Amino acid sequence: MKLKTAILATSAIAMMSGTAVAKDMTIVSWGGAYQSSQKKAYAEPYAADHSDINIIWDESSNEAVAKLRAMNEAGNITWDLVDVVASDAIRLCDEGLALEIDPDEDLAAAPDGTSAADDFGDLLVSECFIPQIVYSTTFGYRSDIEAWNGKEPETVCDVFDTETFPGKRSLEKRPINNMEWALLCDGVAKDEVYDVLETEEGQERAFAKLDTIKDDVIWWSAGAETPQLLADKEVVIGSTYNGRLFSLIEEQDQPVKMLWDAQVFDLDGWIIPAGLPEDRLAAVKDFVKFATDTQRLADQAKYISYGPARASSAPLVGKHADLGIEMAPHMPTDPANAKNTFLYNYEWWADYRDDLDAKFQAWLSQ
């Protein structure tokens, strides 16, 4: 993949040197369907008005934190805009690797005049973070399992019920989300989950709950694994990002259904690397202002089932560009889907991540 990116980048540069005038702007994202939704919704309309900007796409978001740190140490920032999840944005901000932004100055106000800070609201989880989408980590299950005798999972706790719903499950190979679900299903109230998880006993309780299904779990580390495992019938139920399940169900027509219960909301958005020279900074700020306005965020939902991060974008969400189906019912933020949601506590995980990760890995290898 890296080689491919390098070749693409070089050939882009080679083509560039022919025309010579356009300024390069390197945007880093996750690749795949998500990146192409960004290209279609943001970059193509922007390029139509800005022929002097040449956008180069990179697919390194999953290693962005480490690469940005390395670039910063080398004193040569080659990226202009980076797409990261909120927890990475917080970390980059803590490390001084991302630029702090002023929402009202750097981002466009809503069409009705609501300021950007109010329009994004609570989703501005870090001073450096420019939210784009709300996605959720939730479960999908196969609807054709005979052993279930016609029953279908209704709550997240059915994942832990191997009697009624036998079969393998797939869960992410990290403590985040799994620990919360385990505690929820062990009878902890939603607003007490992090207080309980902070204690030794609470952590043991979560592990004990996970122990009950440990033998039935296949652990994934890439978002594409669960859809694949579901399609192959390797697992009967599994967690992944809701957009991946959307494409499995709607685009690939697999007998799989969504379980929206206790979906965990998370955010994805832009950060601008700290230390850009002024001309590049001005160019990228102009792009970001355009790419995160109300219409652009709503447009992105035409291509992928992630909810726009602006309150004002929600009413503008329309139909899928190719399939022609209404996208609103597939959004994690849709009222019907968001009956029971779980809010991921960024600050808490920033503190406990390393500690719990060590415990989780030790638990896994036992």
Partner 1 sequence: MSETADQLLTTKDGKPLKAALAKALRRDKLRALALIAPLLIFVLLTFVAPIVDMLFRSVENDIVSETLPRTVIELQDWDAESGVVPGDATYNALHYDLMIAAEKKKHTQLGTRLNYEETGISSAFRKTGRRVDDFGEGYTDQFVALNEAWEAPATWVDLLASPDWVKSQATWAAGDQKATAEPSFVINDTARKALPQTSEIYGAFARTIQVEDQDSPTEEEPWNAVYSALYEDLTANPAAADAFSGANEALLSEAAAAVATFTPVDIKALFVKADKDWGEPSIWQTIKTFAPAYTSGYFLNSVDAQLTADGVQMKPEDERIYLFLFGRTLMLSMAITISCLLLGYPIAFLLAHLPLRTSNLLMILVLLPFWTSLLVRTSAWKVLLQQQGVINDFLVWIGVISDAGRLVMINNQTGTIIAMTHILLPFMILPLFSVMKTISPNYVRAAKSLGATNWTAFWRVYFPQSVPGIGAGAVLAFILSIGYYITPELVGGTSGIFISNRIAYHISSSLNWGLAAALGTMLLAAVMILFLVYDRIVGIDNVKLG
Q: Give whichever of 50 and 142 is closer to partner 1, judged by the CB atom.
A: 142
Decide if 90 contacts 350 (C-beta within 8 A). Answer: yes
Out of 16, 33, 316, 364, the residue judged to bind partner 1 by CB under 8 A: 364
Site for partner 1 in 282-341 (CB under 8 A): none
Beta strand extents in 143-197 (DSSP E only): 169-172
- In angstroms, rounded to a whole number, what is the distance separating the alpha carbons of residues 167 and 235? 7
- Alpha-helix runs per DSSP H in 238-277: 242-246
Site string for partner 1, 217-236 (x = CB under 8 A): -xx-xx---------xxx--
In the range 82-141, which residues lie near partner 1 by CB under 8 A?
91, 93-96
Tokens describing residue 75:
């004193």
Which 3 state secondary structure label does DSSP give 126?
coil
* Contact assessment for residue 72 and residue 99, using Cβ atoms and an 8 Å cutoff: no
User: Which stretch in 19-27, 40-48, 105-113, 351-359 sits in contact with partner 1 by CB under 8 A?
Assistant: 351-359
| DSSP 3-state of 278 | helix
Q: Of the two residues 70 and 323, which places its CB atom closer to partner 1 in the complex?
A: 70
**x/- string (CB under 8 A) for partner 1, residues 49-78?**
-------------xx-xx--x---------
Q: Does 44 bind partner 1 (CB under 8 A)?
A: no
Nearest-approach distance from CB 309 to partner 1, in angstroms = 23
- DSSP character for 273? B
Mapping DSSP to helix (H, G, I), strand (E, B) and coil, where does residue 340 land?
Answer: coil
Give the shortest CB-292-to-partner 1 separation in angstroms.
Answer: 24
Residue pair 61/82 in contact (Cβ under 8 Å)? The answer is yes
Contact residues toward partner 1 (CB under 8 A) are 62-63, 65-66, 69, 91, 93-96, 168, 173, 218-219, 221-222, 232-234, 347-348, 350-355, 357-359, 361-365
